[in-house]
Amino acid sequence: MKTNQVTVRIPATTANLGPGYDCIGMALDWWNEISIKVSDRPNVSIIGEGSSDLSLTEDNLVYRSARELLKRVKEDSQSLDITCHNTIPLARGLGSSAAAIVGGIFAANAVCGDLLDQDELLDLAVEIEGHCDNVAPALLGGCQIVVKDGEKVFCSAVNLANDIDVIIFVPDQPMSTKEGRALLPKEISRDDAVYNIGRFGMLVNSLSSGNLESLSISTRDRLHQPYREKIFPAMKYIIRSANNAGAIGAFLSGGGSSVTAFATSRTMTIGYEMADVADKIGIPGALKITKPSMLGSHVVINDKELKQ
For every residue of 154-176, DSSP letters joined together read: EEEEEP--S--EEEEEEESS---
Site for ligand HSE (CB under 6 A): how many residues? 13
How many angstroms separate the CA atoms of 280 and 40, rounded? 53
Applying CB under 6 A, among 22, 33, 75, 165 the residue interacting with ligand HSE is: 22
Q: Which residue of 93, 137, 171, 249 would you call a contact of ligand HSE, by CB under 6 A? A: 93
Residue span binding ligand HSE (CB under 6 A) among the ranges 16-24, 111-119, 212-220, 281-289:
16-24
Question: With contact defined as beta carbons under 8 Å apart, do 34 and 104 qualify?
Answer: yes
With vertex at residue 161, the alpha carbon angle to CA 256 and CA 93, rounded to the nearest 5 degrees, is 10
Give the largest CA-CA distance in the chain: 58
297 binds ligand HSE (CB under 6 A): no
50 or 93: CB nearest ligand HSE = 93
Query: For ligand HSE, which is the closer residue by CB, 93 or 104?
Result: 93
Q: Which is nearer to ligand HSE, 19 or 254 (CB)?
A: 254
Q: Shortest approach of ligand HSE to residue 114 CB, angstroms? A: 28
With 0-12 / 13-18 / 19 or more C-beta atoms within 10 angstroms meaning exposed / middle / buried, residue 208 is middle
CA–CA separation, 36 and 33 (whole Å): 10
Instruction: Single out the residue of 32, 60, 96, 177 in contact with ligand HSE (rule: CB under 6 A).
Output: 177
| Region 110-149 residues binding ligand HSE, contact defined as CB under 6 A | 131, 133-134
Q: What is the DSSP letter of 213?
A: G
CA distance 94 to 289: 13
Which residue's C-beta sits nearest to ligand HSE?
Answer: 254
Question: Closest CB to ligand HSE among 60 and 177?
Answer: 177
Backbone angles phi, psi at 251, to 5 degrees: -165, 165
Nearer to ligand HSE, 142 or 256 (CB): 256
181 binds ligand HSE (CB under 6 A): yes
Beta carbon of residue 203, minimum distance to ligand HSE (angstroms, whole number): 15
CB 261 within 8 A of CB 167: yes
Mark the segment that binds ligand HSE (CB under 6 A) among 15-23, 145-153, 159-167, 267-275. 15-23
- 298 lines the binding site for ligand HSE (CB under 6 A): no
DSSP string covering 170-212, please? EESS---HHHHHHTS-S---HHHHHHHHHHHHHHHHHHHH--G
Q: Tell me how far, at minimum, the Cβ of 65 lies from ligand HSE, in Å.
A: 16
14 part of the interface to ligand HSE, by CB under 6 A: no
Give yes or no for residue 254 binding ligand HSE (CB under 6 A): yes
Cα–Cα dist 24/134, whole Å: 8
Least distance (Å) from ligand HSE to the CB of residue 161? 24
**Interface contacts to ligand HSE, rule CB under 6 A:** 15-16, 21-22, 93, 131, 133-134, 177, 181, 224, 254-255
